[in-house]
Amino acid sequence: MSVRLENVTVAFQKNVKALDDVSFTIPSGVYGLLGENGAGKTTLMRVLATLLKPSSGDVLMNHLVYRENNYPSIQKKIGYLPQELSLYPNLTVRECLEYLGGLSGIPKDECKKRLDYYLEKTSLEEHQKKKMKQLSGGMKRRVGLIQALLNEPEFLIVDEPTTGLDPEERIRIRNLLVEFAVGRTVLFSTHVVEDLAATCSQLTVLKKGKMLYSGSVKELLKRAEGHTWICRMEEEAQVRSLEQKYRVSSKQIQEDGMTVRVISPEKPDVPCSPAKVTLEDAYIYVSNFQ
């Protein structure tokens, strides 16, 4: 299964473009979608989930073109977790998922089996009798993820699935997505770079509706090589001056001063040494200097 976007543009009134001429291919496995808030990630996911038609351009699932008459066949293959999802407050977790499973046309016995499996995988087993209104944000997110997985879609679209989860849960969910992606396609959108570093080998970076990068994580890291520096500063004033001149990705206070991580196309004019590039550095480099 692969999904291809060809020159996709989504324009709203007053010529505001949420997506501007975006083209890339999503192959099997976990594929990352990275971008700041307002980059167009959710719009792109809505297009891929058939909720929004692009103003121009085409989307193809294998060889099936995204057109109204093909939507029923495409929708059968899709599982979607929207960015914000708050479901039936008076239903219990299990009832809610059974209801949505029924709406997907999953036979009752099969639905029960899948539910037991995913409730266990997402540590929601003990909360299955709780009403939806009693759940925390992270639990609701996990319920949302289960409903997306329940019809075992060939193409899973998840919009910030790890929001509100504690570190252990995030790892668990990331691993679940990686397991699920075997023989399937998972589009994983987030602005948490760490999540993508742990799950995908390919990704697309969006900024203000435009595609900044599409390709492998390795290649993205390569692009930022030689542009990431660690500078040791002794005084706060020096750090402030450095921040005005360069893009500082992190600061760490230590006993003998402060360690500052700088992303810059040129070597900063302060004492510094090259650093090992992380995906976060590469993302900042691509979004600010390319």
CA dist list (Å): 195 to 6, 34, 244:
27, 10, 29
Which of 11, 178, 192, 270 is the binder for other proteins (CB under 8 A)? 11
Q: Does 64 bind other proteins (CB under 8 A)?
A: no
Contact between 70 and other proteins per CB under 8 A = no
What tokens appear for 148 in the block?
Answer: 């997306």
Distance of alpha carbon 115 from the chain centroid = 24
Q: Is 15 in the site for other proteins (CB under 8 A)?
A: yes
Question: What are the backbone dihedrals phi and psi of residue 186, each rounded to the nearest 5 degrees, phi first?
Answer: -125, 120
Stretch that binds other proteins, among 82-90, 121-129, 170-178, 266-274 (CB under 8 A): 82-90
Pairing assessment for the beta strands 155-159 and 185-190 based on DSSP bridges: parallel
- Rule CB under 8 A: say whether 46 interacts with other proteins: yes
CA dist., res. 222 & res. 218, Å (int): 6
Establish if 137 lies at the interface with other proteins (CB under 8 A): no
Exactly one of 10, 93, 124, 187 binds other proteins (CB under 8 A); which one?
10
Q: Which is nearer to other proteins, 105 or 167 (CB)?
A: 105
Nearest Cα to Cα of residue 281 among 260, 267, 261, 258: 261
Helix (H) or strand (E) holding 279: helix 279-289
Among 37, 63, 69, 72, binds other proteins (CB under 8 A): 72
Candidates 16, 69, 168, 254; binder of other proteins (CB under 8 A) is 16
The answer to whether 167 contacts other proteins (rule: CB under 8 A) is no
- Which bin fits 202, alpha (ψ -120 to 50), beta or left (φ > 0)? beta
100 binds other proteins per the rule CB under 8 A: yes
Both structure tokens of 220:
């993205």
Asked if 9 touches other proteins (CB under 8 A), the answer is yes
Phi, psi of 221 (to 5 degrees): -65, -40
- The interface region with other proteins, picked from 50-58, 233-241, 250-258, 268-276 by CB under 8 A, is 50-58
Does 123 bind other proteins (CB under 8 A)? Our answer is no
Structure tokens at 242: 């450095």
- DSSP state, 75? H
Binding of other proteins at residue 192 (CB under 8 A)? no
In single-letter form, the type of residue at position 166 comes to D
Q: Which of 37, 90, 244, 254 binds other proteins (CB under 8 A)?
A: 90
Contact residue for other proteins among 7, 12, 129, 136 (CB under 8 A): 12
Residues that bind other proteins in the complex, under the rule CB under 8 A: 9-13, 15-16, 46, 49-56, 72, 75-76, 78, 80-91, 95, 98-100, 102-105, 147-148
